[in-house]
Structure 1
């Protein structure tokens, strides 16, 4: 029996002129090291789970706010309780709950600001300002050649900052990072208008609406931009092409 008829047999260069190029083309591995699937930014960043966990506190706040007839303290307590539940879940799964802790801290600070100013809309002021600061920080990171998306992904996959020496990957991370800037800008525009109009209920609604859906959309679109910006001839984000010193 010929070797080419066996399932899983590796094609030899002299077996077919059409199979030879594909057999020696650099493979792109996904987050699990599987060369049969495309790399996925969502799998690398844990997009679905992260988005859901980030959505729990604002949704709890919204439900409590509407159910209590607009009582800020009740809504804040329920939001913190939801954050605590998310924290416990992360610890049970033995994951680093840094994002959850930061969210809880921001909720406490936002409640203090709203309490001392006497205006419920100011509970969302911290969220508005943090998104504005994030948008600015991402823009600066792109401008100076240190796009945050590259830093985050490089840290996750072990390439660290070697991608900066690869013009193709640097450009790809810069392009994809603009999608994250747009995410923050959308929130800033929506929150600013509603805050100015003193629409606290709509602020609560839009905070919940612009968490899970927007994070998922951002990861999906930025992932598409990232990988679409890398030529097929390039080995991929896990193998930066670092110029030789010779």
Structure 2
């Protein structure tokens, strides 16, 4: 095997692992859509708390005290507690550590510029990166939702041989892009206005409460496609 082939295989394996660990993969594994399946796909109660509670505490503490350091300490303490609990229970630290890194980077930006609103800058870059990746994937004819579904079902890129499927997957991918775009459109003006309280509140409201319906809608559409076409019809025509 040549070096290029080995590199391509490594990249392919990385993409497959990323797809398999996605929330869509976890939800797709469920036979029926239930509240429990949706909750599990989003990391369970603990996963949601790990995603929401640090930001909520930052917002509440800053709103009450108007002290940046106090708000950062509150967010950091709860992040550390989540990591300690997972470590004590010998569970995966990936999500908790990712949260800690995010808190540390956000806190560093806010402290560096002495601007509380800079605590949310990392989120803008994250949303912008996802938005760009999703839009580019549609423009080049490889919508990311289709790529993920192909990897999860083992059908690879066969869906690209069907115009209808390309359009559907492209449409779903654009829905995800619209979600990230909406976050930027709504939240960036608040950031530039220095309105930390409104920015923090909308950041929470446009997080899990907005993400969950988009995830459910994606699951419903993909499941309907799978039931209607089946794996054979998804195969690329000769």
Q: Same fold (TM over 0.5)?
A: yes
Question: Match for residue 177 of structure 1?
Answer: 173
Distance 2:206 2:41 in 1: 18
Aligned residues: 206
Is the 1:51–1:215 Cα contact (8 Å) retained in structure 2? no
Aligned partner of 2:110 among 114, 123, 141: 114
Distance 1:151 1:51 in 2: 26
Is the 1:172–1:227 Cα contact (8 Å) retained in structure 2? no
Q: Where does the alignment leave 5 or more consecutive residues of structure 1 unmatched?
A: 1-29
2:238 aligned with 1:242: no
Q: Report the Cα offset of residue 234 of structure 1.
A: 0.8
Q: Report the Cα offset of residue 177 of structure 1.
A: 1.5
Q: Return the structure number with greater helix share.
A: 2
Aligned partner of 1:47 among 28, 36, 42: 42
Aligned partner of 1:202 among 180, 198, 201: 198
Distance 1:159 1:165 in 2: 14
Distance 2:134 2:160 in 1: 20
Is the 1:175–1:225 Cα contact (8 Å) retained in structure 2? no
Is the 1:114–1:121 Cα contact (8 Å) retained in structure 2? yes
Is the 1:64–1:74 Cα contact (8 Å) retained in structure 2? yes
Distance 1:153 1:88 in 2: 35
Q: Report the Cα offset of residue 216 of structure 1.
A: 1.1
Question: Match for residue 75 of structure 1?
Answer: 71
| Cα distance, 1:148–1:244 mapped onto 2, change above 3 Å | closer
- Cα RMSD between the aligned structures? 3.3
1:56-75 to 2 correspondences below 5 Å: 56-67=53-64, 69-75=65-71
Distance 2:233 2:75 in 1: 42
Is the 1:60–1:75 Cα contact (8 Å) retained in structure 2? yes
Question: Match for residue 3 of structure 2?
Answer: none
| Cα distance, 1:211–1:44 mapped onto 2, change above 3 Å | closer
Distance 2:165 2:200 in 1: 38
1:1-246 to 2 correspondences below 5 Å: 31-32=29-30, 34=31, 37=32, 43=38, 46-47=41-42, 49=44, 50-67=47-64, 69-88=65-84, 92=89, 94-95=91-92, 97-155=93-151, 157=152, 159=154, 161-165=156-160, 167=162, 169-228=165-224, 230=225, 232-235=227-230, 241-243=234-236
Which of the two has higher C-alpha Rg? 1
Is the 2:62–2:71 Cα contact (8 Å) retained in structure 1? yes
TM-score by length of 2: 0.70
Q: Where does the alignment leave 5 or more consecutive residues of structure 2 unmatched?
A: 1-27
Q: Report the Cα offset of residue 116 of structure 1.
A: 1.7
Is the 1:166–1:242 Cα contact (8 Å) retained in structure 2? yes
TM-score by length of 1: 0.68
